[in-house]
Amino acid sequence: MERLAGAAVASCMILLLLLVPCAQFQGQPPEAPEEAWAEGQPPEALEDALTMLLSEGGCGAFAALVARTAGVGDTFREQIGSDLGLTILCPDDEAVGAFVPRFHSLTVDEQAGLLLYHGLRMAYSEELHGRVYWLWEVLTLDGEQTLIINHYRGRAILSPWPPSSQNEARITKTVVDDDHLAVYLIDAVLIPTESKKPDFFWDFLGPFLLVIAGLLAL
């Protein structure tokens, strides 16, 4: 019962983020069209809905950073309302706590970029990414940065692309799996690859080698 109740609450929060009234909170759907209802909602309500959703999923520290960093929450909510939706890779509280000193040493732009790096430009359902048995490249919200999803022994492992360090994270829990929003708890903070000049090997041969590696893994 608790799991069903939690899922119902999460669904209502997603509806709020999509600017659709939730009967549980409103009593009855309003007579006015959706646009009029949306105009009457304070920005704080949408911000609180996203923060609560992430916090209840086990990543309250990450949610707090998102709420305090200008533009990040707005970008997440805008992507949730898009046709493709949003995936949030949410580092757990232990991982964020260990990373906070380094986070505060970053510039404002670097802080925003790092947080947006944990958002993917599509709502990847658990079923969808679970079908992938080799390396899979996905776009993040941080410009044109990409991540690699690699399934190994039944676990999804995330790492930057092109590889710049041993930084990687594992998906430990599915928090939300919805058409417009997917949230996964991960065990480490992901660090974007630093910008650099084009590299022939990684930029041109790298994707080809990924395909070969995937075929060999079958």
Strand partners, 167: none
CA distance 6 to 10: 6
Mean pLDDT of the chain: 76
In this predicted structure, which of 30-34, 133-137, 140-144, 146-150 has the lowest mean pLDDT?
30-34
User: Higher model confidence: residue 118 or residue 43?
Assistant: 118
Backbone φ and ψ of 125, nearest 5°: -70, 160
Confidence of residue 96 (pLDDT cuts 50, 70, 90): very high
Whether the predicted model's global pTM rises above the 0.75 cut? no
Mean pLDDT of 113-131: 87
State the Cα–Cα distance between residues 47 and 67, nearest whole angstrom. 7
Please return the burial class of 176, using the count of CB atoms within 10 Å of its CB with bins 0-12, 13-18 and 19+: buried
Cis peptide before 101, with omega less than 30 degrees from 0? no
Decide if 117 contacts 141 (C-beta within 8 A).
yes
Query: Which has more pLDDT, 133 or 45?
Result: 45
- Whether the CB-CB separation of 168 and 188 falls below 8 Å is answered with yes
The pLDDT score that the predictor gives to residue 155 is 79
From the number of C-beta atoms within 10 Å of its C-beta (0-12, 13-18, 19+), residue 33 rates as exposed
Residues in the chain: 218
Evaluate whether 46 touches 109 at the Cβ level (below 8 Å): no
Q: What is the structure's pLDDT at 20?
A: 43
Backbone angles phi, psi at 103, to 5 degrees: -60, -45
Higher-pLDDT residue of 28, 146: 146
117, pLDDT greater than 60: yes
CATH number of this structure's domain 2-217: 2.30.180.10
SS3 118: coil
Q: In the prediction, which pLDDT does 160 show?
A: 84
* Mean predicted confidence (pLDDT) in 69-98: 95
pLDDT at 129 over 80: no
Classify residue 44 by burial, with Cβ atoms within 10 Å: 0-12, 13-18, 19+: exposed
Q: Are 170 and 152 in contact (CB under 8 A)?
A: no
Q: What is the pLDDT of residue 56?
A: 92
Over residues 167-184, mean pLDDT: 93
- Of the chain, the percentage scoring pLDDT greater than 70 comes to 63
In the predicted structure, residue 216 carries a pLDDT above the cut 60: no
One-letter amino acid for residue 63 of the chain:
A
Domain ranges of the chain: 2-217
